[in-house]
Each structure stands twice: as structure tokens, then as C-alpha cells.
Amino acid sequence: MSATTSRALELLALLQTHRHWPSSDLIQRLGVTARTLRRDIDRLRTLGYRVTATRGSIGGYQLEAGQELPPLSLTEEEAVAMAIGLRAYATEGIADGEVTALTALAKLEHLLPAELRRRVNALSAHVQPLRRDTPQVSAELLGQLALVCRDRDRIRFHYEARDGCQTDRLVEPHSLVSSSRHWFLVAWDVTRADWRTFRVDRMTRFFDTRVRFDARDLPAEDAAEFIQVAVSQLAEPRLLADVVMAIPLEQMRARFGPWSDGAEAVDDGHTRWPLGGGSFEELISALAWVEQGVEYRIEGNDEFAEFVREAATRMLRAV
């Protein structure tokens, strides 16, 4: 493969990862001059790729959708990863997902070299999808949501909550997460001025406003953790207890992140943290979050306190 062709394919791969690339960034990434970049853009256009240019201080290029699906350039690792992803796609509660995934996998396999085809065939033969009863979501809607998360576009949609309440929402999308047999959108709710999670299968009348927004810091390590906290709070805990820690509330929130929800200050140096769960084992596992050196006591559930006392005695005997 010539250097020119290789460089054009590298440029195409970059254009496919972002909605808009400033010219200066592409020049730096590719190690070329502005003139060479323009020539490579023209080569892609002759191959059927619709690459538009913008001028000015923030001028650059972006790859737009065309009337036909142009060829894709994949590395060997990307091809195998795509095959694995297609198998997973068939199990994720997407409408017609299994049929679509298998037909796409067949087309991909047809184009692969022999060695990669054997690897993909092994996946097809030995990886069995877990069938589960999951609410169906639209693959088109998931694709649209992924794009607005990437491009930071505000969106509007109609939403039906778990209790049947229906509202129209204006949000700034952050991430899509598959969890607990559902697809969730993590987003900043503009009207409520707070972070929210939305089940994708309960969303209708999606509309991309094309209004860009500045990225916000999610109050969690990542979107998956944020969803985990939100889902855990939906379940009604059967057992409750309080942990009073010798640590100021703000310091506790900084350490515990989204898991500090519900915590309140007892005084300037102590914080009350409510625990909830389906078993004493679940409650006691939360105590591991309390950092070494921070003193605490258990309140509000004498039976749980006795359970912790017995567990601590067994652990001491074990060591």
C-alpha cells in the first residue's frame, strides 16, 4: 500500500471518530502540510465520501452522511472486535437485534482474510448468546443517542417514568449504559438543573436541537457507576441502618461520590450515612467503604450491630 493511500485511510479513520476536526489538529496528527491535507481530502471526496470544510479561525473538516454507505477501513483487531460486538449486540434487547447482527456478521466474515475468518467462525460456533426477556429498544434511537453524546448536542424527548408520569425533557446527554437488562441514558436535565438517568425504552419523540453545550463533570467515577447507584436506589431496601462517621459531610461526599446520597451532617465533624439492602451481608459490605483511620459507629438497627459484632469476632479468629 502506498504512503499516500495509507495516509488517506488514516485520515478517513480520524474523520469517522469525531463530528468535526479542526485543520490544525489533523495536520498535527497526520504530520503533513496544509496543502497535503487538502489533497488527501480531495482524494476521499473522489471515492464518494462527503467531506465538508469550514473556514475561519476554527475551520476544519467533517465527514457527512451520504446517500450510499461507503467502504470502511478496519484493522485486524477492529474487525475481530466488531465480530465480538455483533454477537453481544444480538443479546442486548435491541429490536430485531439478533437477525441484524447475524446478517452483518455474515457480510463481515465474507470479506475477511482466511486467518481472521477462522477466528470469527470460532466466535460464531462457540459463543452462545444469553436469551433474556428484555424490553425492546430501537437500534436507530440508540445510534442517534450515541451521536448526540459524542457531539454534545442538546436533545428533547417525551419520557414515561416508572410511575406512569409523562413529561417532556430537555437534556444534555453524557453517556449510554447497558445495565440490569436495560439501556440507560445519563444526562444533565436542563430544566431540573441536575443529573438524571432515563430508560431508553421509555423515550419517544426524540428531537436533536443541534444546540451544542460544554461538557460537565459527572458526579461519579464514570457513567456505569452513576447508573449502578441510580439502579440500586430504585429498589426498596428491606433492611436499614445508619453509620455515623467521624468525618465532615463535605469530606465524606468527596470520598464516597454518588454513593454518599442521603448522607447528612450530624455536626461539624460527624456525618450520618444511611445504609439499605436486602440482607445483613449487603449492609456489612458497605462498611468496607469507610476508609482506614475514620472512626464510626452503627445506629438504628441493634440486630445488624450484633451481626457485625459476630462477623468481626469470626474474622479476628480467622487471622
**What is the tens place of the pLDDT at every residue in 267-304?**
999 999 888 777 788 778 888 878 888 888 888 888 88
**Does residue 152 or residue 223 have the better pLDDT?**
152
Give the model's pLDDT for residue 187. Answer: 92
**What is the tens place of the pLDDT at every residue in 32-63?**
998 999 898 888 888 778 888 888 766 788 88
Segments of the chain assigned E as strands: 21-22, 50-54, 60-64, 153-160, 166-179, 182-189, 194-199, 203-212, 239-245, 264-267, 270-277, 296-299
Is 154:172 a contact under the CB 8 Å cutoff? Answer: yes
| Mean pLDDT of the chain, nearest integer | 80
Question: DSSP letter string over 75-99?
Answer: -HHHHHHHHHHHHHHTTS-BTTHHH
**What is the tens place of the pLDDT at every residue in 198-231?**
999 899 999 999 898 988 888 777 777 777 777 6
Task: Mean pLDDT check: name the lowest of 10-14, 95-99, 289-293, 307-311.
Answer: 95-99
List domains and CATH numbers for the chain: 3-64 (1.10.10.10), 76-126 (no CATH), 139-232 (2.30.30), 235-318 (3.30.70)
- Percent share of the chain, pLDDT over 90: 13
Residues 87 and 108: their CA atoms lie apart, in Å, by 12
Give the model's pLDDT for residue 67. Answer: 43
Grid cell 450484633 is found at: 306
**Does residue 88 or residue 160 have the better pLDDT?**
160
Give the model's pLDDT for residue 240. Answer: 80
pLDDT-derived band at 73 (thresholds 50, 70, 90) equals low
How many C-beta atoms lie closer than 10 Å to residue 247's C-beta?
22
Give the model's pLDDT for residue 125. Answer: 62
Indicate if the pLDDT at residue 1 is higher than 70: no
Alpha-carbon 275 to chain mean position:
27
**Does residue 237 or residue 269 have the better pLDDT?**
269
Give the model's pLDDT for residue 119. Answer: 72
**What is the tens place of the pLDDT at every residue in 84-138?**
677 666 656 566 655 566 667 666 666 677 777 777 667 666 666 555 556 677 7
Give the model's pLDDT for residue 236. Answer: 57
Grid cell 423515550 is found at: 203
**Does residue 154 or residue 234 have the better pLDDT?**
154
Residues 6+ apart with CB under 8 A from 160: 166, 202, 204
